[in-house]
Structure formats: C-alpha cells, structure tokens
Structure 1
C-alpha cells in the first residue's frame, strides 16, 4: 500500500489432474484480494474471492487473473458484493479481470454484485481470451449507489475473444461526469441495477438460441460465434439476479 492506493493482484491457475478432476497449482492472493478453495463437486474446482479489506478505494489498482488449462473446470465466485468507495487517496480506482481458457477447458465466473457508492470513481476492465472448444459462463452485475444514495462514476468495459476474434467488445459509463444520456430512456431508463451474462458453448456455433426478449427489460442475443449474450436492467440487485439466473438455467 502507498499514498497512491493499494496495488494487488490475485492469480488462479487450474489444470486437469489426470484423474478426472481439477487441481489448482496457483492460488495466490495479495492485499485485499484473498483466495480460498472451497468444496466443489465432480471434476470442478471452486474458488471464492474474499475481500480482506474495504474497496476498491480511490487510487487502488487491483487485478484478478485466472487461467484454465485443457480439460480443467473452474468455478469462481465471491463471498460478498464489491463496493467501490471514495477513499482518502485522490484519483480513480482500477479493477482489472483477465481470464484465459484453453481448448477443452471450462470457466464459470460468477462474482457477486459490484456496487458503485456515492463519491467513488472506478474503471473496470474485463478481458477474456478463449481457445477452440473452451466453455465460459460469465456474469457481471453492477448496482449504481447504495439504498437512497446517488451513484459514483463507473466505467466498465468487457472484451471477449475467441481464437483471437472478437465476440464482444463493449463499454458503458454511468454516474457523475459520464457522457450525457446514460440515465435516459435509451440506456438505463432510471434503473439502478444492470447486468449481463455471456455463455460460450461450442454447440452454439451450429445451434444458437434465437434472439428474444426476457421479461420487460432484458434480452437474449446470439453473437457472431459460439456465444450468447443476455443483458438486463432492474430496479434493484435482487430482481436483476432473478432475471439472470433464469436465463442461465435456460442456457446451461
């Protein structure tokens, strides 16, 4: 930790153990990013990301990296919501997620919500690289402000590549200082919880679900590749999770 904030990286590496299961030769957390292996089922290894400190705070630069090898199966969750807070150090906080899944590997990335508290400024970048027949379930949920609170500034970018080709590359900025219209009818329409779910399956290359609405403020969209994207808005985190869980159940 410095006067400019905390610098920390957590690293996970999952490999097939040769006995039908998954081992974790690398499970290394730093500072506020603690990693714990929890009991899984069958060939899947499960890891929980535990926040050992408040944050990210202003000036913090945090990163989580995960690599899944051929034949390995990894599920990553978090013990609680992540809350972006102003902190004492000036400047924005940065949170980077870097995921790599090899051909034949499978990753389920299912953290709890990210809450943008009033006065905070956070940039989140998530980059996923998939090879060949890799499988992925990735969920992002963002809540703008705590109860009765205006949100902080939140910028979020998600990039997913398959064999070097972009499946998805999108960015959204919300809160004070964001480009005008972010809360208007064409973007959030006054909602304070937004989320997305991307599911990559080799079988979607030939047999992808058809595009359709899911309820009033959610939609399922097949992408140009073996992937499906679900985007959703909701008035609160609980209702957002219900919509995404329903979509995930249909897709998997």
Structure 2
C-alpha cells in the first residue's frame, strides 16, 4: 500500500482553571511542524504560541490544531510568524483544520498571524468553534493572497461557530485560480489582496448587541443571531488589514 503523500501533524492545547483564579495547561502537545510553546501569561490568562518548525503547509500536508479552554479558564493562542501555504511536489492540495472549544465562564483569544497563499499553492482551511452559553471568544483570521508581486494560490476557508449548540455563523470564502467566478470582482474582494475577520462573542451581547455599521476605511460590523458579532475587512496589504481590524475591535469596547 502506498503511504499518503505529505506530512500529517497535530497540536493540542488544553487549558483549565486552577481553582484559585488562574489557568493551568495540563496538555500542551505538538508534533512535526506544529510546535507549541508556553509564554509568560498575564493575570489569570495562560498564553501559548504556535511555532512552525518548517515551511508549510505544502501540497498534500494535513495539519490539525485543537485548543480547549475548559470552564473557568483564560487562554490566549498566537503564532510566532505568518503561515505560508506553498505548492508541493504533487498535485494534491493541503488541509489545515482548527477546532476550538470554550466552556462555561471561559475565555479564548485565538490570534494567529496572517496566512499567506503563495502562487501555485492549494490550501483548504476549516475552523470550527463550539462555545458554551457564557463563553467569551476573540478570533482573528487574516489571509493574504500572494506574496509581494505574485499572483495568489488557491485558498478556500470555511468558518463555523456554534453557541450553546446553536449555529450562529457558517461561511466559506474561496479565492484564487479555480475559485468560483466573481471572487475578485466588485461583489467579492474588488482587487484587494488582504481579507480578514474577527469573531467576538461576549455574554453581554445577548441584551446589548453591537450596532450593524460600516466603519471608516471599509471594515464592517454585523451582529449575529446570538451573543456574537462578526467584523469583516478587506485591504491592499496585511498591515492595513490589521489596522482596520484593530480599529473595529476597539469600537466594540
């Protein structure tokens, strides 16, 4: 039997409340190109950084990252650098799956650096989030289509969010060669090469949801059907995109 092409790698982070107002990390595991490191936290929050040990994902690779903030825990997960999707030796596409779970009275900040879709790559990203009714979430996704001066690869990204078992968001974006027509037209990215979003879940949004609005610069805020809001933005480059998302987040406070 022929072994599957590409690298299979997993990382798993579990955060629990320590019963004294802090957070412990009983599980902190990574393999292959997915290395996980604990960094200095702040107050009750534990902080973790994903460190890419090699380039990728390449065509044929399949990475899976799971992170759970158990009831009462406070967890922040970031990455040491941008993720660069590259073409592999074969024609197979790559997959990157993210599974996030946040329990009652727990909080998760999922704040990786940008995902860059290099020319010739083919990557499918799926992010699934399950939140308890009183959970808090700040999730950031930033995607850059192509490195400087190059055309993008194929990038398909699906994000689903459930709160207390009920779906509040299920969306998919496909960009680059082979994506459905119109992805770069006026109803899509309109020529922009950086696209991003924030998902913000706070229990207080159940009674005082944010107002739907378009902010200066082009970011849009939309309340969802639950204690949750979605911020979306497009920009000419990654730096401008991060600025728009930061400004939109500040407007929610």
Determine the structure 1 residue equivalent to 2:131. Answer: 130
Q: Secondary structure of the residue that 1:40 maps to in structure 2?
A: strand
- State the distance in 1 between where 2:61 and 2:23 align: 32
Determine the structure 1 residue equivalent to 2:204. Answer: 203
TM-score, normalization: structure 1?
Answer: 0.98
What displacement does 1:218 show?
1.5
Q: Secondary structure of the residue that 1:132 maps to in structure 2?
A: coil
* Contact 1:199 1:251 (C-alpha < 8 Å) held by counterparts: no
Determine the structure 1 residue equivalent to 2:233. Answer: 232
Cα shift readout 1:93-120 (whole Å, capped 9, x = no counterpart): 0000000001111000000000000000
**Structure 2: stretches of 5+ with no match in the other structure:** none
- State the distance in 1 between where 2:43 and 2:250 align: 19
Whether 2:44 is the aligned partner of 1:19: answer no
Determine the structure 2 residue equivalent to 1:168. Answer: 169
**Structure 1: stretches of 5+ with no match in the other structure:** none
Q: Secondary structure of the residue that 2:65 maps to in structure 1?
A: strand
Kindly report which structure 2 residues correspond to 1:1-252, keeping only aligned pairs within 5 A, or say none: 4-252=5-253
Please, what is the CA RMSD of the aligned residues?
Answer: 0.9
Which stretch shifts more, 113-122 or 14-23? 14-23
TM-score, normalization: structure 2?
Answer: 0.97
What displacement does 1:90 show?
2.8
* Contact 1:5 1:89 (C-alpha < 8 Å) held by counterparts: no
* Contact 1:161 1:168 (C-alpha < 8 Å) held by counterparts: yes
- State the distance in 1 between where 2:80 and 2:42 align: 18
Q: Secondary structure of the residue that 2:195 maps to in structure 1?
A: strand
Aligned residues: 251
- State the distance in 2 between where 1:147 and 1:137 align: 29
* Contact 2:160 2:170 (C-alpha < 8 Å) held by counterparts: yes
- State the distance in 1 between where 2:135 and 2:93 align: 34
